[in-house]
Structure formats: structure tokens, C-alpha cells
């Protein structure tokens, strides 16, 4: 037996040790109260010269980044005279020419504050921008589209110019990527060599330093420091219309007014454009998101060259969980790769070519499609008016159709489009509690369909209750969801739904076709997988 172990076996020794530790703690506390400066000095003296030098070098590095990048970061004010005039008229006031408008179009986030949101300050339509290119007497500024959207006048405040502004000209904007380019007359002293370098966002790694620079709340140039928290983040229905893909997440503080400002690495290279936050307070809680600079640079160059970004358009949709097919869905549809079509928008190239819901697109113009992201990239990279062969899997058979691409509509126009499927008529039956699925379903009655904005041609069983954390909840089902089909069996009634699921056992997975609400006035079809408990 170890002698130290024997020490602890004696109660008297244990009590003695506890008393000693307490006495030491009391002594240290008294010493710190009597002379806290000495205590701090003692702690400071514990740092070795090398450690001190490392901290000083890091501090100098951040200061050098601020000195190099901040002069190229501008504050932008977007002025919409019509909106201001209307607001003042409603209050019985007059509005002088050029008064700054203060729109706040993001009230919807107050109802669900955890939804990612565009960090627009309440009380001002302002944001940030970055000087990115000098072309003789013209300098171009990259910012977010939501910063300048609907602006009649754009005022640009250069670094250090809190009161004096120059008028910016909108070169072009792209609502899909949420980027815009502004031009101004080249300021004195600004040359291509004074602008920060645009880095390579494909090389960033989680854990690397990230520095956000901008004008939060209009207070002036501000630098915050954090790390790259994650990459390839997806944000959906931000501001109700925008879906962001492949975003950089950072805990560097981003607040209202930072939109359009740069996210910078430790080398002072711009790796992203700060765009959105997720917050319960409308301010920074360490969840900020930036558009990768590689994507932003390509969009920026096209806007500068052509004034806009023109993309091809197909007209199909899928749900977020099915953008990449899991092995069960691949087996179900008999494919090894591809993009699952869950909805086809009417009067679109896809509809005209005969593409149907649950087709799996495997090749676009002989290019292999791995997932829905790959399909989007292939389609948007195809100019409008091109005839493209599309190979797909339909009901276990390969089919080839020809699509004539169109020009992609704006994101707000796309939001208004939708689609639905149809199944056989329903017969009335009773509610059914499905414990293994964690939900309750009932017949879809006319009153329910009207209240839930469900098209009269859509038939299925209505989900009326979902157990929190249960299989249905994990599969994304909510109250008001309509289950149209189990596997390949249509389920217009509860009786047929029970028949389709009676042989399922705990641990089994089943593919469901559902119709669910996506906004107050819109529903869409989707495919989801539910695994029984």
C-alpha cells in the first residue's frame, strides 16, 4: 500500500488537511484585499519574457491589420425619399428633400428571434462596404444588396469622414447572392496598391483567426476579433426570401451596420463579406455569417462587367434535408447519385420539359449531378435559351428529357411561385394516435383544408399532434402537415395510412411524401424519412 494512501485513511489527518487548505485560502484572500496591486503584479511577473513578447506581437499584428484594412472600409447610407415622405405624411409632417429614411423591414424576426437575420440597425438604413477595385477615376465598392435595396440615393462615408459623404452610383446588384456593387469617384490617395488583398476562402479552416471590420450602429470603423466557427453553413428564408449557401460562420462580433463589411484573416486578406446574424437580441451573440470571398469576387466581377448577373433557370425545388440524398433515399429511388425533385413550379422550363416530382436528376448536359447543390450550380451556370439534355430516374427507369433554360427570376418572384400534388379522394374516418411515430393523424376535413390553406385537390392525412423530440418531430413534421404517401402507397385516408404502416417495427425507416406550410399563405410538397422508435 502506498504510504500516501495510508495518510488519507486516518480521519485526523484528513481533518488537519482540510483545515490547512481553508486557512491558506483565508490568508490569500486577506492578502489580496489588503494589497490587490501586489497580487496582480505577482501574477504579471509570472509571464516569461518570451510570453510577453508573443502577446505583444499578436497585439501588434491586430493593430497592423486595422491600419491596413480600415481605410478601405466605408459606411453606406441608403435613402428612399418616397418611403420617408409617406411616413411623414402619415404623421402629418412635411419632409425636406434628401431626408434619411429609416425603414425596418425585419419585424418578422421579432416573432422568432432565433431565425438568422440580416443585421440591419433599427432606426437607420445603413451598412458597410469595401473598396475593392480602382479603375482610373472610378473606384468600386462591394456591399450587400440588402444594404442598398430600393435606395433612391446612396451616400458613402469614407473612413474617418463622419460628416462628409460622396454620392455613390449603383453599378448593379444580385438579390440571389445578396451582393451589390457601388461606384464612386476615386478618392485622393486611393490606388490599387492601397486596397486590401482578396484572399482565397476555399483554404480557410475552422479555428483560424477571423477579424470583422465595419460600422456597427453607425458608430464608426470598428474591428472585432474571433475565429472561424464553421464553414458551409446554410441559412434559409432569411428576410423571408433569401437562402444562403456555403456561408462562413464566425464568433467575431457582427452587429447591425456590419453588413457589407469585410471578414479578414490573420494575414489581412479579405475572406468574406459580413452579411447575417442569428440572434435573440438583434445584436451579436457570437453567431455571425459571411459570404465567402471567392463567390463574392465572381459575382462582383460579373456585375462590374455586365451590370448584372444572368443565371439559367430550371424551376424545381427540394427540401433542405434532401439536398443530399442519404443511403435510404438512394436505395428507394434506385440511384447512386442525383438531385431529388420534390416540387416543379408551373410554367417553368422543368414543367415544359415534363420533369415531375420525385424524378431524380442524375446528369445535366452529360455532367454528373451528385446532389441538389450540384444541380443548382450546373443550372445557374448555363446561359438562358440553351437546350440541355437531362438524364433522370423515374419510377425505377432512366428517362432523358430536353430542357430549354430560361433566365432566373428574382428571389422575391420565386417566393411567390409554388406547386402541389394530387392524390385520390378521401373517405371520413377516425383520428389515430401513432405512438411509435410520435404523432397523431386525422382525416383532412374541408374546414381544416380551408383554415390551413390546403388546395382542395390535395388529399392526405393531417398531422394534428407531434411529440417533442419524437420520430415525427425529428423528421420535420409539424401540426398542419399533410401526409400524402407512405413509400409508394398513397394515403388519402387514415385507414389507408394505418394499412401502409401496420408492418413497420421499431428501428424501421419509411419515406413519406408530405405537404407542409412554408409561410403564412404558402405550402409545398416535400420528401422526408421517418425512423420509428
* Residue found by looking up cell 438583434 in the block: 282
Catalytic-labelled residue, pool 72, 125, 128, 146: 146
The three three-digit cell numbers of residue 494, written as one number: 387514415
Residues 318 and 311: their CA atoms lie apart, in Å, by: 19
3-class secondary-structure state, position 531: strand
What the block records as the C-alpha cell of 146 is: 440588402
What DSSP character marks residue 1? -
Cell of 69: 484594412
Q: List the catalytic residue out of 128, 229, 259, 279.
A: 259
149, 174, 175, 178: the active-site residue: 178
Cell of 243: 437562402
CB distance 425 to 446 below 8 Å: no
Cα separation values, 52 from 47, 49, 58, 59, Å: 6, 5, 10, 11
> What b/e string do you get for 45-61 counting C-beta neighbours within 10 Å, with b at 16 or more?
eeeeeeeeeeeeeeeee
Which CA distances in Å does 247 have to 95, 122, 146, 330, 403?
40, 24, 16, 27, 30
Judged by DSSP in three states, 124 sits in coil
Q: Specify whether the CB–CB gap between 215 and 258 falls below 8 A.
A: yes
CA distance 148 to 152: 9
Q: 3-class SS at 196? A: coil
Q: What is the rounded CA–CA span in Å between residue 529 and residue 327? A: 11
Inter-residue contact 236 to 243 (CB < 8 Å): yes
**Residue 259 is a catalytic residue:** yes
Active site residue 146: yes
List active site positions: 146, 178, 259
Amino acid at each position: 500500500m502506498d504510504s500516501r494512501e495510508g495518510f488519507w485513511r486516518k480521519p485526523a489527518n484528513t481533518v488537519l488537511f482540510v483545515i490547512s487548505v481553508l486557512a491558506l485560502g483565508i490568508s490569500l484572500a486577506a492578502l489580496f484585499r489588503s494589497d490587490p496591486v501586489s497580487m496582480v503584479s505577482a501574477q504579471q511577473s509570472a509571464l516569461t519574457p518570451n510570453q510577453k513578447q508573443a502577446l505583444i506581437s499578436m497585439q501588434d499584428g491586430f493593430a497592423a491589420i486595422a491600419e491596413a484594412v480600415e481605410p478601405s472600409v466605408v459606411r453606406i447610407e441608403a435613402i428612399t425619399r418616397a418611403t420617408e415622405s409617406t411616413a411623414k405624411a402619415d404623421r402629418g409632417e412635411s419632409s425636406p428633400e434628401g431626408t434619411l429614411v429609416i425603414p425596418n423591414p425585419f419585424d418578422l424576426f421579432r416573432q422568432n428571434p432565433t431565425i438568422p437575420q440580416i443585421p440591419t440597425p433599427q432606426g437607420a438604413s445603413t451598412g458597410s462596404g469595401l473598396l475593392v477595385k480602382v479603375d482610373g477615376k472610378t473606384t468600386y465598392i462591394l456591399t450587400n444588396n440588402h444594404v442598398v435595396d430600393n435606395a433612391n440615393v446612396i451616400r458613402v462615408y469614407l473612413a474617418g469622414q463622419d460628416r462628409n459623404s460622396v454620392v455613390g452610383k449603383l453599378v448593379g446588384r444580385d438579390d440571389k447572392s445578396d451582393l451589390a456593387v457601388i461606384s464612386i469617384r476615386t478618392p485622393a490617395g486611393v490606388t490599387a496598391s492601397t486596397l486590401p488583398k482578396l484572399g482565397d476562402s476555399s483554404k480557410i479552416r475552422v479555428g483560424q483567426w477571423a477579424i470583422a471590420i465595419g460600422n456597427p450602429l453607425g458608430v464608426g470603423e470598428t474591428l472585432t476579433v474571433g475565429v472561424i466557427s464553421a464553414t458551409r453553413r446554410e441559412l434559409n428564408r432569411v428576410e423571408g426570401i433569401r437562402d444562403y449557401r456555403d456561408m462562413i460562420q464566425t464568433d467575431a462580433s457582427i452587429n447591425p451596420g456590419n453588413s457589407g463589411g469585410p471578414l479578414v484573416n490573420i494575414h489581412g486578406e479579405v475572406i468574406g463579406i459580413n452579411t447575417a446574424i442569428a440572434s435573440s437580441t438583434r445584436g451579436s451573440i457570437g453567431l455571425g455569417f459571411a459570404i465567402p470571398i471567392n463567390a463574392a469576387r465572381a459575382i462582383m466581377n460579373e456585375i462590374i462587367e455586365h451590370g448584372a448577373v444572368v443565371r439559367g433557370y430550371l424551376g424545381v425545388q427540394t427540401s433542405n434535408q434532401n439536398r443530399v440524398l442519404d443511403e435510404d433515399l438512394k436505395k428507394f429511388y434506385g440511384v447512386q447519385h442525383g438531385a431529388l425533385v420534390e416540387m416543379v413550379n408551373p410554367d417553368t422550363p422543368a414543367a415544359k420539359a415534363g420533369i415531375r416530382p420525385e424524378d431524380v436528376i442524375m446528369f445535366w448536359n452529360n455532367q454528373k449531378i451528385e446532389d441538389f447543390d450540384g444541380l443548382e450550380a450546373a443550372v445557374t451556370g448555363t446561359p438562358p435559351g440553351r437546350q440541355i439534355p437531362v438524364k433522370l430516374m423515374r419510377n425505377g427507369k432512366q428517362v432523358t428529357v430536353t430542357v430549354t433554360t430560361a433566365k432566373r427570376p428574382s428571389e422575391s418572384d420565386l417566393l411567390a411561385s409554388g406547386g402541389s400534388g394530387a392524390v385520390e379522394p378521401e373517405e371520413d374516418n377516425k383520428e389515430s394516435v401513432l405512438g411509435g411515430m410520435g404523432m397523431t393523424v386525422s382525416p383532412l376535413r374541408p374546414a381544416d383544408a380551408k383554415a390551413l390553406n390546403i388546395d382542395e385537390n390535395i388529399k392526405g392525412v393531417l398531422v394534428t399532434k407531434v411529440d417533442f423530440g419524437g420520430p415525427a418531430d425529428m423528421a420535420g413534421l409539424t401540426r398542419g402537415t399533410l401526409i400524402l404517401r407512405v413509400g409508394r402507397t398513397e394515403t388519402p385516408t387514415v385507414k389507408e395510412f394505418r394499412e401502409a404502416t401496420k408492418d413497420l417495427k421499431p428501428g424501421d425507416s419509411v419515406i413519406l411524401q408530405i405537404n407542409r406550410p412554408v409561410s403564412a399563405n404558402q405550402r409545398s410538397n416535400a420528401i422526408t424519412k421517418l425512423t420509428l422508435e
